[in-house]
């Protein structure tokens, strides 16, 4: 029974990924910066992102559309090397004593697997890469149906909170062996979501 449930859940997650639950509009070099629409009280989350010479901000806004609950995601950052950087919501709302305190990728549920590389890109917290321009700045705008801000089984405000991590390398968008780094490698910046 447990295996059948896991297969059904895996199938549902794969369908969500294929059906466009994650879409991205990436704007390098800081162009086109804007603010997501404001959600109702309790449907907005923010995180100040910090790393060695890196600063940024993430904003999540939950809303309803014809398909159900969606979350607008906007990440801005500066001080990064040019190119693509993996960005993920991580399972624990901690950045100290180092960024490993944030745990694996956000992936709640009876069949969840937070290993950053082994279950990738099917975690609930997997979002597209951040593209950074030659000036070290980048903006990522995307939409996800994989998480919520309001209470529920996919809420980022669970018992231990949620962090956002920017990685030093691109997310290759594939499943790899644990600790292989296919999801972005070293963690270079971290922020904790608050309401």
For tokens 């059904």, what's the residue? 8
Range of the domain at 55: 2-192
Specify the pTM: 0.79
Q: Say yes or no to pLDDT of 1 above 90.
A: no
Give residue-wise pLDDT tens across range 22-79.
444 444 433 333 333 444 545 899 999 999 999 999 999 999 988 888 999 999 999 9
Give residue-wise pLDDT tens across range 146-191.
999 999 999 999 999 999 999 999 999 888 888 888 989 999 999 9
**What pLDDT, on a 0 to 100 scale, did the predictor assign at position 42?**
55
Whether a cis peptide bond, with omega within 30° of 0, leads into 56 is no
User: What is the rounded distance in angstroms from the CA atom of residue 189 to the CA atom of residue 166?
Assistant: 5
Q: Say yes or no to pLDDT of 137 above 90.
A: yes
85 within 8 A of 169, measured Cβ to Cβ: yes
CATH for 108: 2.60.40.200
Q: Residues in the chain, how many?
A: 195
List C-alpha distances in Å: 1 to 5, 14, 16, 177: 6, 20, 23, 27
Burial class of residue 126, CB neighbours in 10 A (0-12, 13-18, 19+) = buried
Q: What is the total count of domains within the chain?
A: 1
Using alpha carbons, select from 195, 129, 134 the residue that is nearest to residue 168.
129
User: What is the rounded distance in angstroms from the CA atom of residue 181 to the CA atom of residue 71?
Assistant: 27
């Amino acid at each position: 029974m447990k295996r059948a449930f896991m297969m059904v859940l895996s199938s549902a997650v794969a369908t969500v990924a294929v059906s466009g639950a994650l879409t991205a509009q990436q704007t390098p070099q800081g162009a086109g910066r804007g603010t997501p629409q404001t959600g109702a009280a309790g449907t907005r989350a923010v995180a100040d992102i910090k790393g060695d010479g890196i600063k940024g901000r993430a904003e999540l806004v939950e809303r309803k559309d014809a398909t159900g609950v969606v979350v607008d995601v906007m990440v801005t950052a500066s001080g990064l090397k040019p190119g693509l950087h993996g960005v993920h919501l991580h399972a624990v709302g901690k950045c100290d004593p180092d960024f490993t305190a944030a745990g694996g990728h956000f992936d709640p549920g009876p069949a969840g697997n937070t290993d950053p590389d082994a279950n990738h890109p099917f975690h609930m917290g997997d979002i597209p890469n951040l593209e950074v321009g030659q000036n070290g700045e980048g903006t990522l705008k995307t939409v996800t149906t994989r998480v919520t801000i309001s209470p529920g089984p996919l809420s980022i405000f669970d018992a231990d909170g949620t962090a956002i991590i920017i990685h030093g390398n691109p997310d290759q968008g594939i499943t790899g062996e644990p600790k292989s780094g296919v999801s972005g490698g070293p963690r270079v910046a971290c922020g904790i979501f608050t309401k």
